[in-house]
Amino acid sequence: MTDTIESKRDWRSHWAGAVERAGPEEFLAQVGFTANGRPKEAIQLDLIEKAVREGLAIAPSDILLDLCCGNGLLTKRIAPMARRMYGVDFSPALIEVACRRFSGPNITYLCHSAVDLEIIDVGGDRITKVYMIGALQYFTPESIGSLMGTIRKLSEGAAPIYFADIPDVEHLYDFYDTAERRAEYQRRLAAGTEAVGTWWSKPALVKLCEKFGYAAQIISQDATRYGAHYRFDLLVRPK
């Protein structure tokens, strides 16, 4: 088993400048939903939406929490399935785009760190289901405890969590698949500027969830999802 490779990059600074780097109307690029520098096909958004919807069995009565929601691109798509949606991200620039371009009658966006939300931040609502798309890579084993503690507090310990698009350390070199790409990865890792973030060990992540009182189920991605050859999903439920 290969150990988790933790990210040391300052992701808060990186995402603070996301809109400026990508452009004010380049919504896919703003949230890194690109491949080889180009926006991914729309079908990829559909596939992620489907995975979250089915994984959590979202119902019209649900109060959802979209952690690390970015510019709200997927928040807006998923929100109509539920009674209420809270989208949370620590990037002021991305939340500004979310409020301006991806708002909805049942959506509240919060510019806040995911690890220290309080009940008051969600208007006293009890969150019933939680998801995080493509952002667990910006956390480390040390910060997972704070994240799980926050979710347990907001949901009274009852909400399942769907983590989508987690980089699998066992498939690191399926992503960095040439000698040149591997050398670049090692250089950037040493410099603290790695492109992806934390590469998770599946067994270690499951064990970590168990440590904080959650049972975790590895979900293999639909083979047509862009990152299926090096990413996985995780459904986590309170024990």
What CATH number does the domain containing 219 carry? Answer: 3.40.50.150
Instruction: Please give the mean pLDDT across all residues of the chain.
Output: 95
CA dist., res. 79 & res. 68, Å (int): 15
State how many domains the chain has.
Answer: 1
Which domain, by its residues, includes 47?
Answer: 11-238
3-state secondary structure (DSSP) of residue 236: strand
User: What single string gives the DSSP state of each residue in 187-224?
Assistant: HHHHHT--SS-PBBPHHHHHHHHHHTTEEEEEEPPPTT
Domain for residue 5, yes or no? no
- Are the C-beta atoms of 76 and 100 separated by less than 8 Å? no
CA dist., res. 232 & res. 202, Å (int): 9
Please say if the pLDDT value at position 2 is more than 90: no
3-state secondary structure (DSSP) of residue 122: helix
- Are the C-beta atoms of 157 and 188 separated by less than 8 Å? no
Residues 135-165: tens digit of each pLDDT = 999 999 999 999 999 999 999 989 999 999 9
pLDDT of 60: 98
Domain for residue 98, yes or no? yes
pTM comes to: 0.96
Residues 67-115: tens digit of each pLDDT = 999 999 999 999 999 999 999 999 999 999 999 999 999 999 999 999 9
Domain for residue 3, yes or no? no
3-state secondary structure (DSSP) of residue 81: helix
Select the more confidently predicted residue: 233 or 119.
Answer: 233
**C-alpha angle 138/92/123, rounded to 5°?**
90
CA dist., res. 180 & res. 168, Å (int): 20
3-state secondary structure (DSSP) of residue 98: helix
Please say if the pLDDT value at position 166 is more than 90: yes
Residues 212-226: tens digit of each pLDDT = 999 999 999 999 999
Task: Note every long-range contact of 78-84, with CB atoms under 8 Å and residues 24 or more positions apart, other chains counting.
Answer: 78/49, 78/52, 78/53, 78/131, 79/104, 79/106, 79/107, 80/104, 80/106, 81/53, 82/58, 82/106, 82/129, 84/108, 84/125
pLDDT, average across residues 47-71: 98
Domain for residue 99, yes or no? yes
Domain for residue 19, yes or no? yes
Please say if the pLDDT value at position 21 is more than 90: yes
pLDDT of 1: 64
Domain for residue 219, yes or no? yes
- Are the C-beta atoms of 207 and 237 separated by less than 8 Å? no
Q: What percent of the chain has pLDDT over 70?
A: 100
Domain for residue 4, yes or no? no
Please say if the pLDDT value at position 26 is more than 90: yes
Domain for residue 143, yes or no? yes
pLDDT of 37: 81
Residues 176-197: tens digit of each pLDDT = 999 999 999 999 999 999 999 9
